[in-house]
Amino acid sequence: MIRIAVCDDDPAAIENIETCLDQISEYSFDYDVFFDGAELLKYLQHSHTEYDIYMLDIEMKHMDGLTFAKELRLFDTRALIIFITGYSKYVYDVFKVFTFDFILKPIQFSDVSKVIDKAFSYLKIAKNIFTFSYRKNSFSLSCDKILFIDKIGRKAYIHTIEKTYQCNMTIEEIWKQLDPHFFVSARSSCIVNLAYITEVIKDEIILKNDIRLFAGRSYKQNLKLKHLDFLRRQL
């Protein structure tokens, strides 16, 4: 799940941003709201929480967005920073802290939607995000959280450490979003994350949490070779 931190000392602006984010249904994400840069920084330091996207107002009383961003970059160089400002004079300053984008006030839904769409497109590549929909709901998962994907009939079951999701994708559609260096076919209807395989014994694949999967006869040789290659790459 993608996590977003929103920080602005103006309650009306926060409410506006929340309204915009709540209207975006194409992507699955959680967001937390903060009213001061110092408050957000303290929360990060004590909770060890990580966010993928920061939406920051530039002008705030106790710690402005630019100062917070400089502090953030000392320990997090990967998160995307989106500045929110009513002053175009800051446009050049924001890029000194590796800014992803910015939104000019007054905040419009179209602007927020475009920036979020751009951010998710970037994160999908950078974080290897697997996206799918089911019953009009959209989901985004980090590929490294997927244990295996099983196709039964028309439905695909995406098994993660926390829970199992469903979707109606074909195996071909699923493979288009997976890196073959990290995933392997156990049989025609099952794809396994190589990082979670501990052993392959005869016709059985044993995963780290003792989940056991059947390996198809014609897939065993390639499965063992890919698993061995994966282990070598980790050395």
In the prediction, which pLDDT does 89 show?
56
- Domain membership of residue 131 (yes or no) is no
Per-chain mean pLDDT for the chain:
89
How many angstroms separate the CA atoms of 2 and 151, rounded? 25
- Work out whether strand 146-152 and strand 155-160 pair parallel, antiparallel, or are unpaired: antiparallel
In the prediction, which pLDDT does 75 show?
86
For position 115, which CATH number holds? 3.40.50.2300
Q: pLDDT tens digits, residue range 176-211? A: 888 888 899 999 999 999 999 998 888 899 998 889
How many angstroms separate the CA atoms of 20 and 17, rounded? 5
Count of domains in the chain? 2
Which range among 94-103, 106-115, 140-149 shows the weakest confidence by mean pLDDT? 94-103
Region of 146 (left: φ > 0; alpha: ψ -120 to 50; beta: rest) is beta
102 and 20 inside one domain:
yes
Question: Hey, what are 19's tokens?
Answer: 């309204």
Highest mean pLDDT among 26-30, 123-127, 133-137: 26-30
Question: What is the extent of the structural domain holding 74?
Answer: 2-126
In the prediction, which pLDDT does 121 show?
84
Residue 123 pLDDT more than 90?
A: no
For position 201, which CATH number holds? 2.40.50.1020
Find out whether the peptide bond into 106 is cis, omega within 30 degrees of 0. Answer: yes
In the prediction, which pLDDT does 30 show?
93
The amino acid at 166: Q
For the full predicted model, state whether its pTM sits above 0.85: no
3-state secondary structure (DSSP) of residue 95: helix
20 and 98 inside one domain:
yes
In the prediction, which pLDDT does 153 show?
92
The sign one gets for the Cα dihedral 90, 95, 98, 104 is positive
What number is the average pLDDT over the span 12-17? Answer: 95
183 and 102 inside one domain:
no
116 and 194 inside one domain:
no
- Percent of the chain predicted with pLDDT > 70: 93
107 and 208 inside one domain:
no
Under 8 Å between Cβ of 53 and 69: no
- Percent of the chain predicted with pLDDT > 90: 54
Under 8 Å between Cβ of 123 and 133: no
Under 8 Å between Cβ of 172 and 189: no
Q: What order do you get walking across the sheet with 204-207 strand by strand?
A: 197-201, 204-207, 212-214
Question: Hey, what are 75's tokens?
Answer: 């320990």
